[in-house]
Structure 1
């Protein structure tokens, strides 16, 4: 779902929270210059406590990196790769703030813009000329052998149930909506969102799913079974992995950032999160454009080198994802995906 007209357009008290990968000086400098421009436009810039020293912005509002960090903010502007973006998502999910990323990592599937187009992006923020996508997220419950919830977390990309001991195969049972589906030995099972379909799930052989599709993915990892294909389920399903009480030990990793241990004989339940993650979009690039640009997909066709016949494909439009500006007259609106890299 996409919101076209942000309510902040009517507000005179606007805040933007910065989330910055401060380990690189070029990223710090870009964040500083961006903050200065936002401040000149009358927007209050908010910094995280653990990043404020590196950024050195005297007029900025400094806040702890907790659930209140993005409260009242319009945008969480991310300077870094997808790892920084996922860290910022942990803050934004407690508020109505939308995430907007500047890709300074390797792939940057979640980012909205490249460094060369930052000025265009800042102008869009100043004018409230952006839309907001609502991305499905997942909630995870860890239960013990008695069925008592002993832990929980959430994920934007994926939650993976993994073996704790590298030398052992993890035996498990997969169930959908409380009904057992199959069992096998494996390295683990991934439960992915459409946003995360281009990340860990893609590397494990899962399908690429357009981000506006309402669904959840189940992707086995190195399963010792004939029926171990990726599954696409209803967004309203409850997905379960049960671990037999025979010495198998497992853990849950959410977005590669949060880890929970699964008790022996316990289980993991995954369902759609009550709150989606909001991502701001400025550039009119489709999800297909992002796939072509990020994965370097060949789009010319195998006959391209044979001549200039009428069936030859036209040159692709200029695109911000190829470190160029979007040609708004030739490209239609779309979505995005994600990959677990960082700056």
Structure 2
């Protein structure tokens, strides 16, 4: 078995997690290839001493890899997706953070869950991504122009609201007068969209959510649409620029630019362990059923 190892940053609380992973994989003769920056961090902190192969680009990840291990929180997995891209390598998220819906494996059960991975006792959960094209072209979003959670437009240099003219498959929907607008995938429905009042979607649902951010018109409600819909946005406001974010990557875009958002032709494969399903994660993270009367 051959796995890629990636972590976004180092914290003292992750040291035991990293040790457990490396000890287990070495014991089971699993070949590990570590992301270059993360590898340098691990050597610097003296968490690892043995020499390992490294990678530093998505071009170095190919079909010889069986799995991509992400150590951190959901943000780490979103960055991992920019490395995996179209390779279809399954991503396993090991949670070193707090509230997370993607990195579902908790540090208390790492060895037991990794044993299930070795035995291939897991399922694959394909996740929809969104692509973004900007007219005129914006250099900041040309290379990595896709998002796993959401694409968001928001005001930049002003306290005033912006107007987001929205079309679905060429048909006019609405002009949102708001602080911004979120286009979320089912995966992203438990993120920024949920905090703005959007619904939670099960990952298998073939839908997207349009969620306004603090709309001036209170009757502008979140809207669920088919995921094959092409969304066209045109933003105007008092300032010359507004912000566009693709998950955690942010670019400044000029007023009156046209944004085309649609589903990508490829998906990201998330590893799901039987004992750590999406529904169980929902119950645990949102404290469903925690009322003492239950």
Q: Do the aligned residues in 1 keep the contact of 2:20 with 2:110 (CA within 8 Å)?
A: no
Confirm or deny that 1:140 pairs with 2:127. no
Q: Is 1:237 matched with 2:229?
A: yes
Find 1:116's aligned residue among 101, 104, 108. Answer: 108
Question: Is 1:291 aligned with 2:282?
Answer: yes
Q: Partner residue of 1:45?
A: 32
The whole-number CA distance in structure 1 between the counterparts of 2:255 and 2:83 is 32
Residue-pair matches, total: 285
Q: How high is the TM-score relative to the length of structure 2?
A: 0.90
Give the counterpart of 1:83 among 75, 87, 91.
Answer: 75
3-state secondary structure, aligned to 2:271? strand
Check conservation: 1:239, 1:269, Cα contact below 8 A: yes
Please say which structure displays the higher CA radius of gyration.
Answer: 1
Structure 2 matches for 1:181-330, cutoff 5 A?
181-244=173-236, 247=239, 249-256=241-248, 258-298=249-289, 304=293
State the secondary structure of the residue aligned to 1:213.
coil
C-alpha contact 1:246 1:265 (8 A) present in aligned 2: no
Q: TM-score, normalised by structure 1?
A: 0.77
Does 1:131 pair with 2:123? yes
Q: Deviations along 1:199-250, whole A, 9 cap, x unmatched?
A: 0000111001111101111001111124411111111101121124875522
Q: Which has the higher strand share?
A: 2
**Cα distance in structure 1, aligned partners of 2:80 and 2:98:** 18
1:68 counterpart SS class: helix
In structure 2, C-alpha distance between the alignment counterparts of 1:261 and 1:21, rounded to whole Å: 24
Long gaps (5+) in structure 2 = none
**In 2, Cα distance between equivalents of 1:99 and 1:286:** 15
Work out whether residues 176 and 212 of structure 2, in 8 Å CA contact, stay in contact via their aligned partners in 1: no
- 1:103-150 superposed Cα distances (whole Å, 9 cap, x missing partner): 110112101310111011211122222111101111111113xxx676
Q: CA RMSD in A?
A: 2.1
Secondary structure, aligned partner of 2:58: coil
* Helix, strand or coil at the partner of 2:215: coil
Structure 1 residues 283 and 59: alpha-carbon distance in aligned structure 2, compared to 1, 3 A threshold: farther
Q: 1:263 to 1:131 in 2, by over 3 A?
A: same
In the TM superposition, residue 289 of structure 1 has moved relative to its aligned partner by 2.2
CA distance in 2, matches of 1:27, 1:51: 13
CA deviation string 1:290-315 (max 9, x = no partner): 212101123558xx3xxxxxxxx6xx
Q: Which runs of 5+ in 1 are unaligned?
A: 1-13, 305-312, 314-343
Conservation of the 8 A alpha-carbon contact between 1:136 and 1:194: yes
SS at match of 2:216: coil
